[in-house]
Structure 1
Amino acid sequence: MIADVQEELPEGWRVVPLSHLCELRSAGTPPAVLQEAEPGAVPLVRPGDLREHRIVHSSAAFVSGLRAEGQDRGRVRAGDILVTRTGTVGRVALVTEAETGWFHNTHTLCVRPSDEVEAPYLAGFLAGPGAMAWMNSHAAGSAIRSITVGALAGLPVVLPPLAEQRRIGAVLGALDEKIRVHEEIAHTTALLRDSLAGLLMSGKQPADPE
């Protein structure tokens, strides 16, 4: 399969298994989860927090600071990529500096890129329709589907030269940022609409919206 794809690529591009480009890290034994923050608590990323290729700061789950102290397994750092491995397999999010030191739970896998691949490019590739279709075809289970670390390791990754990776990653990152801004505008507009509806239906005269 990899050889067939390789023949169609531009010169200097190649196809390699995901395991050749990164370290695949599982969360290990799940820590006790707190539903409310306490002093020193560390946020815990769950599958629902991965949206539009980023981590949403929901602050819905935490790990005790005492349990987190000195524990590296399950921690993420900027440049890591989280991929959901159960339920909706294949959601992807690129970890930023804002999430460095957070934990991810057992329903997500951490992809830690090597120097051979740019993290924004790899995140974009994993979030693409081809990679997502591959992951879903290699997921097992009927009621709750899941993909293992071993299976994900074999995912074929199209790898351009580093300069091209940076260019592609920058383009995709800019588009993701536009999506984020439009989502914030839509959310703010929805709040305004709800507030305005309340005023209109109470008989009060609101200011004309611009």
Structure 2
Amino acid sequence: MSLHSVTLGDLCAVTASPSSDLFTELAYDVDGTPVVTPADIGDSQRIDPEALRQVPATITGLKRFRLRSGDLVIVRLGGVGRVALVDEATDGCVYHSSCIRIRPDSKRVDPVYLAAYLAHPPVVAELLSYVQMVTVPVLTTQSLERLPILLPDARRQRIMAEALGEVGLQMDLQRRILARLSAVRQGLFTQMLGDGLPGATVSRAKGAVPERNVPRTRRTSRMS
């Protein structure tokens, strides 16, 4: 398999992060624009759209930082290097100030291949060598653009992307099964312990007097 090396900046448009001032009202109970944050980027290189927090629709200045399917989002601050691929479910979201957007040239590089490449441990180690160590680790746009990318031909990229995508789907399936089994296990254990488990019974209202089982006394007849 022939490979050639190019820099990330030659393959992609790398866009710096928006201002942190735009996200002061970020919350779950807000009706507005969903935001991809570092907390939403895990090992699967996928983003769960149901888990995203939002900023109010009244916040302006976000248009330039919209995401579209095929983009990559990489963490630049703190947990540097975690990367996720944007799909149709997260198309139109924006990315947080702790992230950088990577928009691949789809004619030269397959986004699935690139996401897997950037998440590969030796590549992550190389990327971390570019990090600036201040109060927290920081990855700059300029440093990210210099990262070397090993690029197979287009056909090989598609084959690799299809194989990696199938493995990713199986990983997601196993994670969901594990999460359900974990919930079943906890519920089963709670049932087996019954009311003896702390917090298993509903707390009484504050200040309420606990009920007592007062033994009944035999009522005597006034005639006796």
When the two structures are superposed, what TM-score results if normalisation uses the length of structure 1? 0.85
Q: How many residues align?
A: 191
Within the candidate set 149, 154, 157, 1:162 is matched to 154
Give 1:6-21 correspondences, 5 Å limit: 10-11=1-2, 13-21=3-11
How far the C-alpha of 1:60 sits from its partner, in A, is: 5.1
Could you say which residue in structure 1 is the equivalent of 2:98?
Answer: 107
Contact persistence 1:53–1:94 (CA under 8 A): yes
| Secondary structure of 1:28's aligned partner | coil
Percent identity over the alignment is 28
Per mean C-alpha deviation after superposition, the further-off stretch among 81-90 and 27-36 is: 27-36
Letter in 1 for 2:131: A
Structure 1: give runs of 5+ residues left out of the alignment.
1-9, 204-210
Point out where structure 2 has 5 or more consecutive residues left out of the alignment. 196-224
Deviations 1:102-154 (CA, angstroms, capped at 9, x unpaired):
11111111100012111111111111112201111110115410110000001
Give the C-alpha shift of residue 37 in structure 1. Answer: 3.3
Alpha-carbon distance between aligned partners in 2 of 1:86 and 1:101, rounded to the nearest angstrom = 23
Counterpart in the other structure of 1:76 = 67
Q: What SS does structure 1 have at the residue aligned with 2:63?
A: coil
Deviation track 1:27-85 (CA, whole Å, cap 9, x = no partner) reads 3223133313334x1111110100121113353521211225x8422211110011111
Equivalent residues in 2 for 1:1-210, closer than 5 Å: 10-11=1-2, 13-30=3-20, 31-32=22-23, 33-39=25-31, 41-51=32-42, 52-57=44-49, 59=51, 61-67=53-59, 71-114=62-105, 115-202=107-194
- Which residue identity is paired with 1:96? D
Q: Distance in 2 between matches of 1:16 and 1:45?
A: 28
After superposition, the CA RMSD in angstroms is: 1.7
In structure 1, C-alpha distance between the alignment counterparts of 2:85 and 2:76, rounded to whole Å? 15
**What amino acid maps onto 2:10 in structure 1?**
H
